[in-house]
Amino acid sequence: MTSFDIPEALVRAEIDEAALRENAAVLAERLAPAHLKCVVKANAYGHGVDLVAPVLFAAGWREFCVATIPEALHLRSLLGPDAEILAWLYGPTTDLDEAVRAGIHLGVSTVEALDRLADAAQRIGATARAHLKIDTGLGRNGLSPEGLVRALDWLRRHDEDHLAIDDPGRTDDHRADVRIVGIMSHFAVADEPERPETAAQSAVFSSAHGQLRAVLDAADGRLGESAELDVHIANSPGALTLGPCPGTSARVGLALYGLSPLEDGDPAVLGLRPALRLVSSVINLKDIPAGHGASYGLTFTAATDTRFALVAGGYGDGLPRAASNRAEVAIRGRRCPVVGRIAMDQMIIDVGADNDEVAIGDEVIIFGPGGPSAAEWGSWADTINYEIVTQLSARVERRLTTGGRQ
């Protein structure tokens, strides 16, 4: 076979590893005495889990969260056995055996999931570690009040069954079983600190925690140590707006990457630095007469003579088409508007007739330090910064940088 050198991608995401480390340290200090769980789901919020997770692990962080079991198993292969990995999103037919075998902690939202975890533990002869997930008001996954009652009854029966057949020669470390190691939930409006629902969710969560603790205490360590239970409900908004942080840990995603989950929030005010810089380049440049259109549908027509720069990057790379005729990029330190519809692979930038400095090959900052923010792109596309970064496609090359290049 003939091998070829792969040329540099036209659109690149530069990931500042120093910013990642600094953000994690800032957040950990803010959360203390609660501890930081690094959320690296959705390809580390678009930043590239293969780059991000090893950087955080090398910096000393050991607790990681993802959504799905395939994400968790990939993360295990990246980080090895010393990382504690939690996943919580799986369906009624998802194979749980490999997750249990790999020591993945699993969120449990139904009694049926407890049955399936116990079956998986028995099949492979390993301990399944579970975090009961409580629906405290968000309305997504998690045990309802009635579901929590059923789950606690399941735990009591499970303990009684083990007492009836217990072998004194076996220790808990060798029992193929389900152990409850955590309780979790998720805030709905912690990014709006004035709203009362957060306190209401906290109260529901505290009650559920108390009920679980009573069951674990009665089991005398056979189902899990209540004193060591990992208690977590705070997300990035909760970690930034609530003090002290509720529980023993917080699952922090967006803020870890230096982006604010708060409306009109400035990352710098929060002590955070955006870790991702999305860059492209000018690949063509032409003078355009007044009356000339731009891109599909000709939704933009030049009012005066001007100059168009063609820039690689479009919705095939994850840039939102909804930001057409609204977004801006930065070229040579100057903001320039995107004109016409953003296409699959490219977009047109109006650099102005009087701008004779822009040249083919110039770097273009689509968003990130030195250019517009991901939050601005979110506003231009009528969405949020979360979506802007997580929808970056596989065609975008991710690479680590050092030194906080701006």
Q: Which residues, including other chains, have CB under 8 Å from residue 74's CB and lie 6 or more apart?
A: 49
Q: With 70 as the cut, is the pLDDT of residue 163 above it?
A: no
Lowest-confidence range among 58-62, 153-157, 163-167, 170-174? Answer: 170-174
- Would you say residue 369 lies in a domain? yes
Q: Which pLDDT score is estimated for 355? A: 83
| Domain assignment of residue 8, yes or no | no
Confidence of residue 406 (pLDDT cuts 50, 70, 90): very low
Tell me: do 43 and 111 sit in the same domain. yes
In a shared domain, residues 395 and 368: yes
Nearest to 240 by CA among 34, 62, 83: 34
Q: Give pLDDT, residue 172.
A: 47
Share of residues in the chain with pLDDT > 90 (%): 88
Looking at residue 360, which CATH number applies to its domain? Answer: 2.40.37.10
Residue 4 lies in a domain: no
Residue whose pair of structure tokens reads 């995603």 in the numeric block: 253
39-70 pLDDT, tens digit each: 999 999 999 999 999 999 999 999 999 999 99
Q: How confident is the model at residue 218 (pLDDT cuts 50, 70, 90)?
A: very high
What pLDDT is attached to residue 173? 45
CATH at 25: 3.20.20.10
In a domain, 3, yes or no: no
The label of the residue with tokens 């997580």 reads 390
The predicted pLDDT at position 313 comes to 98
- Who contacts 134 (Cβ-Cβ below 8 Å, separation ≥6)? 142, 143, 148, 183, 184, 185, 204, 205, 208
pTM of the model: 0.93
Residue with tokens 């440049």: 285
On the question of pLDDT at 2 being above 80, the answer is: no
Catalytic residues: 41, 296
Q: Span 226-254, mean pLDDT?
A: 95
When pLDDT is cut at 50, 70 and 90, the band that residue 356 belongs to is confident
Banded pLDDT at 265 (limits 50, 70, 90):
confident
The mean pLDDT of 223-249, rounded to a whole number, is 94
Give the range of the structural domain holding residue 236, as residue numbers without chain letter. Answer: 17-257
292 and 384 in one domain? yes
Based on the structure, what is the number of domains in the chain?
A: 2
Average pLDDT for 348-356: 92
What pLDDT score was predicted for residue 65? 98
Which residues are CB-neighbours of 79 under 8 A, at least 6 positions away?
A: 53, 54, 57, 64, 85
pLDDT tens, position by position, 174-187: 457 999 999 999 99
Answer whether residue 76 is part of any domain.
Answer: yes
Residues 68 and 156 in one domain: yes
Instruction: Produce one character per residue of 11-44: b if its CB has 16 or more CB atoms within 10 Å, e if not.
Output: bbbbbbbbbbbbbbebbbebbeebbbbbbbbbbb
Same domain, 217 and 281: no
* 35-49, 199-213, 300-314, 390-404: segment of lowest average pLDDT: 390-404
Amino acid at 358: V
CA neighbor of 75 nearest in space, from 120, 117, 40: 40
DSSP 76: H
What pLDDT score does 133 carry? Answer: 98
Model pLDDT, residue 233: 98
Q: Please give the helix or strand (H or E) that residue 388 lies within, else none.
A: helix 385-390
- Could you tell me if 180 and 319 lie in one domain? no
Strands (E), 116-248: 128-133, 178-184, 230-234
Is the pLDDT at 306 greater than 50, yes or no?
Answer: yes
Averaged pLDDT for residues 156-162 = 86
Looking at the fold, whether 187 and 281 belong to one and the same domain comes out as: no
Residue 372 pLDDT > 90? yes
